[in-house]
């Protein structure tokens, strides 16, 4: 097969140092105005990853371990440190092959620490309260039964095109390698939210509502209907289809509430705001800025790259892991017997044994 890269179990992104040729106008290179080179500090988080695996010889009640900092040596080989404090079930630090499904190998999987934090926030738990037994079972239940596997056997969504034999660098795909937790530029924007200019009187366009059945409803009822539409795309469709909805003024509080309901991945929002601060903030501008800024296909000038990656992980991957995690956690017989688990290539771990 030759050399190959392995990818994060949780996000599908690469580990460690990236390499690409700096080319100003090449589609096969990252935009140097976005990522200067492989030493760009924005890429440092790719080096912070761990491995989770199983040690049948562990003396404690748990045979599952999570390593300390790990190093990727290509071809599925990783070296790991014990961590501080070291996991009691951890074998002697050294080399390990990840994702390999073979009869004489214990299965293990690597993940970025940032991606683990995003998943924990999706589950509304702290990293400390992530059950490593359930976490391992969750990942192992999605293992690809292949000795040369490079990731889990799931749909990784938008990032799949980059998960080639070697990581594929491509123009406009830079957001896949941006830090999804410490988002560059986001903290500064949220600390200085734009203010409404209430002195500007914007003339409203009034549409003829003749024949529109919604025209019989008072504005407060129309606003309630708009509030309960789950997707903003549906809100915009309603405003295009109905003159009554098109004439409705969407209040500042409407946009603030939509921000909270539509962007659960935006945990950085200031928690403590006075009523005066909330009222002065231009929530429509904030909503549009963050909604389009977190879309991977947005124009470069609008992109908030780390937020694009966070939203991608939250919406495309966290539901897969969270559903499995919660199902395994709720299984009455989920605690497996303390016996060696050697992968035979024909069966998966039984959740009830």
Same domain? 45 vs 160: yes
CB contact at 8 A, 226 and 250: yes
**Number of compact structural domains in the chain:** 2
Same domain? 64 vs 144: yes
Let me know if residue 344 belongs to a domain: no
Question: Is pLDDT at 115 greater than 90 in this prediction?
Answer: yes
Same domain? 191 vs 160: no
pLDDT band at 273 (very low <50, low <70, confident <90, very high): confident
Instruction: State the residue range of the domain holding 322.
Output: 41-175+315-330
* Mean pLDDT, residues 158-182: 95
pLDDT band at 144 (very low <50, low <70, confident <90, very high): very high
- Could you count the other beta carbons within 10 Å of the beta carbon of residue 21? 10
Same domain? 195 vs 168: no
How confident is the model over 75-87, as pLDDT tens digits? 899 999 998 889 9
Same domain? 144 vs 257: no
Question: What pLDDT is recorded for position 27?
Answer: 78
In angstroms, the CA 215 to CA 143 distance is 55
Region label for 168, one of left (φ > 0), alpha (ψ between -120 and 50) or beta (otherwise): beta
Same domain? 275 vs 322: no
Let me know if residue 348 belongs to a domain: no
Let me know if residue 202 belongs to a domain: yes
* Mean pLDDT, residues 204-211: 80
CB contact at 8 A, 306 and 186: yes
Least confident of 130-144, 200-214, 269-283, 302-316: 200-214
Taking CA atoms, 199 is separated from 221, 224, 271, 325, in Å, by 28, 27, 28, 51
Let me know if residue 349 belongs to a domain: no
Q: Which string of b and e fits 265-292 if b means at least 16 CB within 10 Å? A: bbebeeeeeeeeeeeebbbbebbebbbe
Same domain? 165 vs 215: no
Task: Pick the closest to residue 8 from 112, 96, 79 (CA basis).
Answer: 112
Residue owning tokens 């549009």: 288
Same domain? 253 vs 284: yes
Same domain? 208 vs 143: no
How confident is the model over 293-339, as pLDDT tens digits? 999 988 888 899 999 999 999 999 999 999 999 999 998 766 543 33
């Amino acid at each position: 097969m030759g050399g190959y890269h392995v990818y994060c179990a949780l996000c599908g992104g690469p580990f460690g140092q990236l390499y690409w040729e700096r080319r100003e106008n090449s589609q096969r290179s990252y935009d140097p105005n976005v990522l200067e080179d492989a030493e760009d500090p924005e890429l440092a988080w790719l080096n912070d990853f761990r491995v989770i695996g199983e040690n049948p010889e562990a003396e404690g009640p748990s045979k599952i371990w999570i390593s300390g900092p790990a190093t990727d040596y290509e071809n599925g080989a990783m070296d790991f440190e014990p961590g501080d404090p070291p996991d009691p079930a951890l074998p002697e630090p050294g080399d390990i092959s990840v994702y390999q499904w073979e009869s004489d190998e214990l299965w293990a999987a690597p993940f970025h620490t940032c991606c683990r934090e995003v998943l924990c926030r999706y589950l509304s738990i702290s990293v400390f309260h992530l059950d490593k037994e359930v976490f391992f079972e969750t990942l192992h239940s999605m293992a690809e039964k292949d000795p040369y596997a490079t990731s889990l056997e799931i749909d990784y969504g938008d990032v799949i095109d980059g998960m080639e034999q070697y990581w594929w660098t491509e123009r406009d795909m830079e957001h896949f390698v941006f830090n999804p937790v410490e988002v560059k530029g986001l903290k500064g924007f949220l600390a200085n939210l734009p203010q409404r200019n209430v002195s500007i009187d914007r003339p409203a366009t009034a549409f003829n509502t003749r024949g529109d059945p919604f025209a019989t409803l008072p504005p407060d009822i129309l606003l309630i209907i708009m509030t309960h539409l789950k997707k903003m795309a549906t809100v915009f469709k309603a405003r295009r289809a109905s003159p009554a909805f098109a004439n409705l003024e969407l209040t500042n509080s409407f946009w603030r509430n939509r921000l909270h309901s539509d962007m659960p991945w935006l945990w950085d929002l200031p928690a403590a705001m006075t009523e005066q601060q909330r009222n002065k903030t231009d929530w429509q501008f904030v909503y549009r800025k963050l909604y389009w800024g977190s879309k991977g296909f947005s124009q470069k000038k609008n992109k908030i790259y780390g937020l694009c990656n966070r939203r991608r992980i939250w919406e495309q991957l966290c539901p897969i892991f969270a559903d499995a995690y919660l199902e395994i956690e709720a299984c009455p017989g989920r605690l497996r017997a303390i016996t060696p688990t050697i992968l035979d290539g024909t069966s998966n771990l039984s959740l009830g044994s």
